[in-house]
Amino acid sequence: MRVFKFGGASVKNADGVKNVVHVLKEVGHENTLVVVSAMGKTTNAMEGVVKAYFDDDNTLASAIQDVVKYHNTILQDLFSNDRHPIFGEVKSIFDDVQDFLSRNKSPNYSFVYDQVVGYGELVSTTIINAYFNEIGIECNWLDVRGVIKTDSNHREAHVNWDETQTRITAAIDKSKLYITQGFLGSDENNFTTTLGREGSDYTAAIFAYCLNANSVTIWKDVPGVLNADPRYFENAQLLNQISYREAIELAFYGASVIHPKTLQPLQRKEIPLHVKSFINPKGAGTTVGKGNGIEPKVPCFIVRKGQALVKLSSLDFSFIVEDSISEIFKLFHEYKMKVDLIQNSAISFSVCVDNKFGRLHELLNHLKAKFKVVCHENVSLYTIRHFDVHAIESLQNGKEVLLEQRGKETLQLVVK
C-alpha cells in the first residue's frame, strides 16, 4: 500500500481539488491512503477563531463565518447541485464548532485549540471525499481520531504506538482507497489532539509505519527537495536522492525538507519517502531513503533570518564552565529561546537564538546580573552543508561576519 499526503496549498480551491484527482489518475489510486491537510490557510483562520474566543472578542462570529464562506465557495465550484448532501454535511461540521465553543468550560488554551483547529482537516477531507465519489472514484472517508491514539499533551501530542498500530491494522483494507486527516489524533478520553509542527507529514509516516507501506509521497508545488530556498539563493538545484541521516541533518539546521519526527518511523522500517510536484506528477522528484549523503553532491544552503547573536563573558575573567553553562541553558529554556548555534572559549560563550516568543530583552536583563552581555539583533544564520571554497565566498561576499563555526561537513556563519 502507498501513502500520499497533500498539503493545504494543493487543495486551496476547487481547481486544486480537481488537480488532486488528476494526480491520482496519472499515478494510480488503487491500494492508496491519502492524507490531506486543511484547505489553504484554514488552519491560520481557525487559530484566529480560537484567539477571538479567548479574547472575548465580538469578531468571533465573523471569524467563523469567514471560514464557512471560504469553504462554501469551494463547494459551489465543485458541486453544481446545491442540494447535494455535502452542503448539509459541511454545515453540520461548522455547527459542531459553534456548539463546542458555546458549551466549553475549559480555560486551557491548548485544549480548546485542538478541539477547534482540527475542524479544518475534517471539513477538507469531507469535501474531497464527496467529490471523489461524485466523479466515480470510490473512496472511503476515515476519521483519523479513531485510529491514531495519543496522550493528552495538547498541540504536541505523543503517539501511543501499540494502540495506534492495532487500530490502523483493523480499520484499513489495503485493497481500497482511503482519505483521512493529517495533524490530528485523540486521547484516551476521545478528545481531539494535534501532533505539532509538520503534523500532516507525520500522520502520513505513522500510517506508513503501521501499514508496512511501500512508500510515502508528499505532493508539493515544487519539483522536489532543492539544495537551497530559491527565495534567497539563485540557481537552486534539485536533489535526486537524500539519505535519511542527511535529511535529518538538513532539517536540524533549518531546511524546510522533512521534519525529523516524520523521518524516524520511516527510517525504522526503511520505507522510502518521495517528495514530488503536484503540478508535474510524473516528474522524478526527490527520494529520501537508505544510503549516504545526497545526490548530486552539491553544497546545500540554509538561512535563518531574524536571529539574535548573544555573546556572554564573565565579569571577573573567571572561566565559563559546566555550572555557568548549565545556568545559562536553564534560562534559555525558561525564556523559550531556541538555540541554533553555540560557540565557547574559556571566558566567553556565544549563542545564536531564535527570539520566537519575543522574550529576548527579558532574558538579557536576567543575564546582565552575572555576565557582560553583547547582543546583535536581527542577524542571519547561514549554514552550508558540504561546503566548498566557492560556496563560502558566495555567502561572505559583501556581508559582515560576526561569528564562524566550521566542521568537517558543515559551515555556519552569523552575518549582519
Separation of alpha carbons 391 and 119, rounded Å:
45
Question: What pLDDT sits at residue 242?
Answer: 97
| Mean model confidence pLDDT for the chain | 95
Q: How far apart are the first and last CA of the chain?
A: 49
Q: What is the CATH number of the domain that holds 367?
A: 3.30.2130.10
Q: What is the CATH number of the domain that holds 146?
A: 3.40.1160.10
Separation of alpha carbons 390 and 112, rounded Å:
51
Question: What pLDDT sits at residue 243?
Answer: 96
Stretch 286-293: mean pLDDT, rounded?
93
Domain end (from 166, 195, 220): 220
Question: What pLDDT sits at residue 168?
Answer: 98
15 within some domain: yes
Question: What pLDDT sits at residue 25?
Answer: 96
145 near 185, Cβ under 8 Å? yes
Residue with cell 541553558: 329
Same domain, 121 and 209: yes
* Cα Rg, the chain, nearest whole Å: 24
Same domain, 213 and 305: no
Domain end (from 178, 197, 220): 220
Question: Mean pLDDT lowest for which of 237-246, 253-262, 308-317, 394-403?
Answer: 253-262
40 Cβ neighbours under 8 A, 6+ residues apart: 8, 9, 11, 12, 13, 70
> Which residues are annotated binding-site positions?
231
Which of 309, 366, 310, 374 shows the shortest CA–CA distance to 335? 366
Answer whether residue 322 shows pLDDT above 90.
no
> Which residues are annotated binding-site positions for ATP?
231
Question: What pLDDT sits at residue 151?
Answer: 98
209 near 261, Cβ under 8 Å? no
Secondary structure letter of residue 317 according to DSSP: S
The whole domain housing 169 covers 2-220
348-357 pLDDT per residue, tens:
899 999 998 8
47 near 113, Cβ under 8 Å? yes
Stretch 144-164: mean pLDDT, rounded?
98
16-61 pLDDT per residue, tens:
999 999 999 999 999 999 999 999 999 999 999 999 999 987 999 9
Instruction: Assign 132 a pLDDT band (cuts: 50, 70, 90).
Output: very high
Question: Mean pLDDT lowest for which of 25-39, 278-292, 314-328, 345-359?
Answer: 314-328
126 near 38, Cβ under 8 Å? no
**265 is written with which cell numbers?**
518511523
Residue type (1 letter), 384:
I
Please state the domain count of the chain: 2
- Is omega for the bond preceding 223 within 30 degrees of 0, making it cis? no
**365 is written with which cell numbers?**
536583563
Query: What is the pTM (predicted TM-score) of this model?
Result: 0.90
266 within some domain: no
